[in-house]
Structure 1
Amino acid sequence: DHGRPQLLTDGRSRNWFGAWSRDGRWVGYSSTRRNGTDADLYMLDPRVPGSDRKVLEVDGGGWNFSDFAPDGRKALVVNRQSIARADVYELDLAGGTLRKLSSDARPASYAAPRYGADGRIWVVSDLDAEFLRLGTLDPDSGRFSAVTREPKWDVGDYALAPDGSFVAYTVNEAGVSRLRILDIASGSVRPVTGLPAGVMPYTLGPSLSVAPWGELGLSLSSAKVPGDAFSVDPKTLQVTRWTRSEAGGLDAAANVEPELVQIRSFDGEPVSGFLYRPDPARFPGKRPLLFDIHGGPEGQSRPGFLGPDNYYLNELGVALFFPNVRGSSGFGKRFVGLDNGPFRREDSVRDIGAFLQALRKDPRLDPARFGVAGLSYGGYMCYATAVHYSPQLKGANCYVAISNFVTFLQNTQAYRRDLRRVEYGDERDPVQRAKLIEISPLTHVERISVPLLVATGGNDPRVPASEAEQIVEAVRGRGGTAWHLLAGNEGHVFRKKENVDYYFRAGVLFWQRMLLDGAGEDAK
């Protein structure tokens, strides 16, 4: 209203956007406001105060809207129980009745169900396959029929033409988004080759859409593209770039593209990651290297725009490596499950050990100046890497990180607890609890011999601030070094500019001291 944001929900519970109705009037979303645990389904008209209404009470924290029927009477909703299991339902919006569409006979992952122009239900699923495929779901039999036929890599986002003539979809090829146009009548598929090698970023709603006149619109980021709007003519496949986002006066075209590094881990499992190298003309000789481990743990490092992290490359001469250890998404459902439970958890840490061993042999990197960073679950990996590989490191920057799996599972918000138990293990089971304690970094804090930078949000509902406080206290209690940054007005990952800037500058100072001998003799 007049350029000022208006609070539409209660401002206290977890409220998660789901979908817009086709006429743009209603927003469907989920909220835990009833009991802090279950993600009930709600609708509201943002223009009408007091229009918010609960459509359905549910059990579980993984429910949300995915699409509204064209006539606005029904909606498709998803109940996500884990990355490997989700179910699709159709919801009658007037009566609040729910009909299950996916089959119980063969549990699988389903994502982004949508109504097609002819009434068919489209969805992405890994049913009977290693990778996610795009197909249709029979609402009566629950049968999924795959339409895409890529032998490898997950289908990501997709968009249906309003007239039902084609569907555009992306394939996550080792992290890079590749766009395809599929003719629904003939089944023929054409690749779109005129886009940068980047990532279709997460946005509010789908990152792909088809205009009423048939042109495909999308947003994309890459090493050289901060995040911009493109369109594709579905007939000619001509690509048009509509925006060139502001980058603070910097030349984004000067940023370096990453190299895909592929190795075999300790047990022969293939793992990969993206390596960014500083300009050798400006920064000659062997360069320090900073590992940056993604969260999730089912996340994935992908070659999008690095934003402020380009400062490490372009101004400090520090190389960056973004690994995808086992348990990362995008490499098939077998790979994503390889770290499940407490007894296989540290296999992903051993993947980092394999990367350390491989990259130490790189003639352009300085193995005496390696560091590690990570966010959320990647923050656990950051601590664990410091536990297992401190002699090979100069420091660790662990951000909103898990330090003890048992205290984390006990204190994380209730709506997330069961979802996380599927991934990490169940602390209520004595055998699993003992193993969770055994693999927790806090248990082995005496093995951390490098300085830590620990950052956390005071209001974090996912990884409570107590996870940071207990490991900082333990490290300092043994005479170790632990920088501790607590943002009292933040949740999980900093959002307020003053906190984001302060943490970034603290990180630069930390790595200058740990990797570049103070201010850095070559940090101009």
Structure 2
Amino acid sequence: MTDTATLIPRNALFGNPTRAAGQISPDGQWLSWLAPKDGVLNIWLAPASDPQAARAVTQAVERPIRQYFWSPDASAVMYIQDKGGDENYLLYRVDVTTGAETTLTPFENTRVQLVGASTTRTDKLLLGLNNRDPQWHDIHLLDLTTGELTLVLENNAYAGFEADDTLTLRMAMQQNEAGGTDYFRVVDNVVEPEPFETSAMEDALTTSPAGYTSDGATLYWIDSRGRNTAALFAQDTATGERRLIAEDDRADIVSTLRHPITGVVEAYAVNYLTRSWIAIDPAIAAALAWLSERMEGEFSVQSRTDDDSVWIIANDPLTKPVRTFIFDRVTQTLIPFYVSRPELEGAPLQPMHPVEIASRDGLTLPCYLTLPPASDPNGDGKPAAPVPMVLLVHGGPWARDAYGFNGVHQLLANRGYGVLSVNFRGSTGFGKAFLNAANKQWGLTMHDDLIDAVDWAVANGIAAREKVAIMGGSYGGYATLAGLTFTPDVFTCGVDIVGPSNLETLLETIPPYWAPLVKTFHERMGDPRTEEGRALLRAASPLYKADKIIKPLLIAQGANDPRVKQSESDQIVGAMKAAGIPVTYVLYPDEGHGFARPENNIAFYAIAENFLAECMGGRAEPLGDALAPASAQIVDGAEHVKGLEAALGE
């Protein structure tokens, strides 16, 4: 019975991890990780010889640092940070010896891109900066010692670039009229006029260069041209000859393990329902086999020294908190580094079950199901009796759900719900036919896949028909709105996180640096420049069917979201209020596309789980003082969430 299971505190799932993102410096002298300092994630360092001598080297006080990396010469840790979720990321450097911090890209309204790093020119980086024109990233050479930026190429036409180990630009990419990609050679920082490779729209999201070997002799490709799933190829840069390295009929090759100095691919990953690593290099094969014998669940190589003697290994046991190890390949020892969330030790974490569901038109949808504690006594992935269920829809839509620890799955399962995540058509990783089956199908067959998954869950005794919620962020938020407007009788309630309500206005307000790729949106969603495209976008927009909403809806939005503007949520809330339909609307003035601050994340899930409890009858940790440290503004509908008015003091 789920009521007897320990209630896992929200803070344990969505608060700051104790440690995360562990790395080792390229020279093996330093360990680094993210950990709270005064309640905010910062970068910490310790000598590899003395891990207890740790110190915080950054001073973030508002937003957590979430992405960092080592400079190639191991003299500094570097991180990117935006303001309030606006996704204008600047680059910062912290000297490991002096602790001095430098803003390397001191510009306003600028988004930095890392174009190239080197194993030989370790004191330099190639960066893309759109401070001159927000649509285009000019290429600069950054001197890590002096901070000097030198313009290499002014860019007024290209969506991206590739460089080799000498930090010489070798390739430029440009979207073509068909919605595919043209690839141009760059010689002496001049882009040649004719492409040397090209892809059609059907391959645009499944074909891309995967970098050069350090000697520049080989260019790797992840490539679906002339096939369905994307395979790994090696191309001789002198002759153009291509060699197939790896392929899989079920899934795209998307991950590789490459030698830290030579850049040669040593292993690759296949991720269909679960991920498996296949080694090419015998020594790597032996190391992966040794690790697999000692790891429970899944593992990955997170960081390596330049001499490849020490690896940082992240291990996901699935029903225990994620843990990280230091693997010394020379001595063959595995030393515990940290457990990310030790407060989850012994918690009733539930297994995730990979399942395949057939769509009504014959596609196979790879999905993941998590069930409430004690609901599945024999562990076969089917509860003894149907349970309330949350359909949790991923964002993108050109992304995917994957197997592994998932905090939202665990929260919802712990509260008494089955949780089903569906890789609907348009999800990436399963071949271009599956991806392209979603072209111009927003609100149509993409939505049918979600309904088919609900029907499967009901038919197989997993979900109770009268108690199914839909929830998701970004595209998943759109799917929630579509679920409550296009199929209002299917769902009991919905939770929309930063979801677009009007596809026309969504495309009108994309960030300027997405403009070079706008053809992708037009070809895959509908072209607003044509009458047919506008009709398609309007028909797929939940805003115009807001009066069809008859079930409770919770909407959460970041005010600074550059992808899905606040107006997307404002519009549908306004339409619902005009029609006299109740809605709960939560706005975060210091967040963007999703919630980075743990205080805000915890507050959101506090509201969401009590909203679901009101609608579906599951358990909920009381709101308590969860909103006090958060910026959440309840714009509308506090009365529709259990305990929310009391928490606000109303």
TM-score after normalising by structure 1: 0.84
Specify the alignment match of 2:474 in structure 1: 376
1:448 to 539, 543, 549: 549
How far does residue 506 in structure 1 lie from its aligned partner after superposition?
A: 1.5
Q: Which residue of 2 aligns with 1:58?
A: 155
Name the CA shift for 1:334/1:239 in 2 (closer, same or farther; >3 Å).
farther
Question: Matches of 1:378 and 1:281 in 2, distance apart?
Answer: 27
Shift of 1:470: 0.2
- Helix, strand or coil for the counterpart of 2:572? helix
Q: Which residue of 1 aligns with 2:110?
A: 13
Match of 2:480, SS state, is helix
The aligned counterpart of 1:128 is 226
CA distance in 2, matches of 1:57, 1:166: 31
Answer yes or no: is the 8 Å Cα contact 2:181–2:198 preserved in 1. Answer: no
Post-superposition offset of 1:136: 1.1
Match of 2:367 in 1: 273
Q: Choose the corresponding residue for 1:322, options 421, 430, 454.
A: 421
Task: Give the match's secondary structure for 2:427.
Answer: coil
Question: Is 1:3 equivalent to 2:100 in the alignment?
Answer: no
User: More deviation in 344-353 or 22-31?
Assistant: 22-31
Give the match for residue 298 of structure 1: 398
TM-aligned CA distance change 1:518 to 1:345, over 3 Å:
closer
Is 2:579 the partner of 1:478?
yes
The answer for the alignment partner of 2:617 in structure 1 is 516
Alignment partner of 1:173 out of 271, 294, 297 = 271
Counterpart AA for 2:153: L
Question: How far apart are the structure 2 equivalents of 1:456 and 1:153?
Answer: 34
Would the aligned equivalents of 1:461 and 1:492 in 2 still touch at CA under 8 Å? yes
**Counterpart Cα distance in 1 of 2:360 and 2:425:** 12
CA 1:90/1:234 → structure 2, altered by over 3 Å: closer, same or farther?
A: farther
Distance 1:513 1:274, change over 3 A: same
Tell me if the contact between 1:167 and 1:184 (Cα under 8 Å) persists in the aligned partners: no
Report Cα offsets for 1:345-386 as digits up to 9, x if no partner: 511100011011111123243222110111111211111112
Question: What is the match of residue 349 of structure 1?
Answer: 447
1:340 and 2:439 correspond = yes
Post-superposition Cα deviations, 1:181-229, rounded to whole Å, max 9, x if no partner, equal 10399x99997854554475xxxxx956574146665545463465544
Which residue is equivalent to 1:312?
A: 412
Percent identity (aligned): 21
What secondary structure sits across from 1:156 in the alignment?
strand
Per the alignment, do residues 427 and 135 of structure 1 end up closer, same or farther by CA in structure 2, a change over 3 Å counting?
same
Larger mean CA deviation between 98-107 and 143-152 belongs to: 98-107
- Aligned in 2, Cα 1:414/1:264: closer, same or farther, shift over 3 Å? same
Cα 1:28–1:345 shift into 2, 3 Å:
farther
Aligned residue runs from structure 1 range 390-469, under 5 A:
390-417=488-515, 418=518, 419-469=520-570
Structure-2 change in CA distance of 1:294 and 1:222 (3 Å): farther
Corresponding position of 1:203 = none
Matched residue, 1:245: 339
CA contact (8 A) 1:166 1:181 kept: no
The question of whether the paired residues in 2 share the 8 Å contact of 1:376 and 1:401 is answered with yes
Distance 1:60 1:493, change over 3 A: farther
- Asked whether the 8 Å contact 2:498–2:557 carries over to 1, the reply is yes
In 2: Cα distance, 1:309 partner to 1:58 partner: 43
Aligned equivalents of 2:390 and 2:157: distance in 1?
38
Pick closer, same or farther for the CA change 1:272–1:121 going to 2, 3 Å. closer
Offset at residue 267 of structure 1 (A): 1.2
Alpha carbons of 1:116 and 1:233: their partners in 2 closer, same or farther (altered >3 Å)?
farther
* Alignment partner, residue 223 of structure 1: 318
Partner of 1:500: helix, strand, or coil? helix
Q: 1:272-318: per-residue Cα shift (whole Å, max 9, x none)?
A: 2100111126998532111111111110000232135422222x122
Residues 412-438 of structure 1 deviation map (CA, whole Å, 9 limit, x = unaligned) = 222224142233121111111111101
In the alignment, is the contact (CA less than 8 A) between 1:326 and 1:338 conserved in 2? Answer: yes
Contact 1:220 1:227 in 2 (8 A): yes
1:145 matches 2:250: no
Q: How does 1:81-230 map to 2 (within 5 A)?
A: 81=175, 85-86=180-181, 91=186, 95-98=188-191, 102-104=196-198, 108=203, 109-116=207-214, 119-140=217-238, 142-161=240-259, 167-183=265-281, 193-194=292-293, 196-198=296-298, 207=302, 209=304, 211-213=306-308, 218-219=313-314, 221=316, 223-224=318-319, 226-229=321-324
Residues 46, 221 of structure 1: alpha-carbon distance in 2 compared, 3 angstrom cutoff: farther
Counterpart contact for 2:170–2:186, Cα < 8 Å: yes
Give the counterpart letter for 2:110 in structure 1. Answer: S
Aligned residue identity for 1:14: R
Q: How many angstroms apart in 2 are the aligned matches of 1:25 and 1:225? A: 40
Alignment CA distance shift 1:15-1:180 (3 Å): same
Q: Secondary structure at the match of 2:131?
A: coil
Cα distance in 1 for partners of 2:262, 2:296 equals 27
Higher relative contact order (CA 8 A, sep 6+): 2
Measured against aligned partners, the alpha-carbon deviations of 1:221-257 in whole angstroms (never above 9, x if no partner) come to 4634655445779999x89474342315112785222
In structure 1, distance between residues paired with 2:465 and 2:504: 34
Choose from 350, 354, 357 the match for 1:263. Answer: 357
Q: Give, as a single letter, the amino acid of the residue that structure 2 aligns with 1:373.
A: M
- Are the structure 2 counterparts of residues 199 and 500 from structure 1 closer, same or farther at C-alpha, using a change threshold of 3 Å? farther
State the SS of the aligned residue for 1:351.
Answer: helix
Letter in 1 for 2:530: D
CA contact (8 A) 2:234 2:243 kept: yes
Query: CA separation in 1, counterparts of 2:209 and 2:250?
Result: 18
> Would the aligned equivalents of 1:76 and 1:90 in 2 still touch at CA under 8 Å?
yes
* Distance across 1 between alignment mates of 2:311 and 2:254: 16
- Distance (Å, rounded) in 2 between the aligned partners of 1:311 and 1:498: 16
Change (3 A) 1:520 1:477: farther
Once residues 328 and 175 of structure 2 are traced to their aligned partners in structure 1, the CA distance between those partners, rounded to angstroms, is 38
Q: Determine helix, strand or coil for the equivalent of 1:243.
A: strand
Question: Deviation at 1:395?
Answer: 1.0
User: Secondary structure of the equivalent of 2:343?
Assistant: coil
1:32 paired with 2:130, answer yes
| Cα distance change on mapping 1:505 and 1:27 into 2, 3 Å | farther
Unaligned regions of 5+ residues in structure 1, if any?
201-205
Secondary structure at 1:153 match in 2: coil
CA spacing shift, 1:101–1:219, aligned 2, 3 Å: farther
Q: Secondary structure in 2 aligned to 1:3?
A: coil
Task: For residue 436 of structure 1, give the secondary structure of its aligned residue in structure 2.
Answer: helix
Deviates more, 1:280-289 or 1:28-37: 280-289
2:484 is the counterpart of 1:386: yes
Which of the two has higher C-alpha Rg? 2
**Does the 8 Å CA contact 1:299/1:328 hold for their aligned counterparts?**
yes
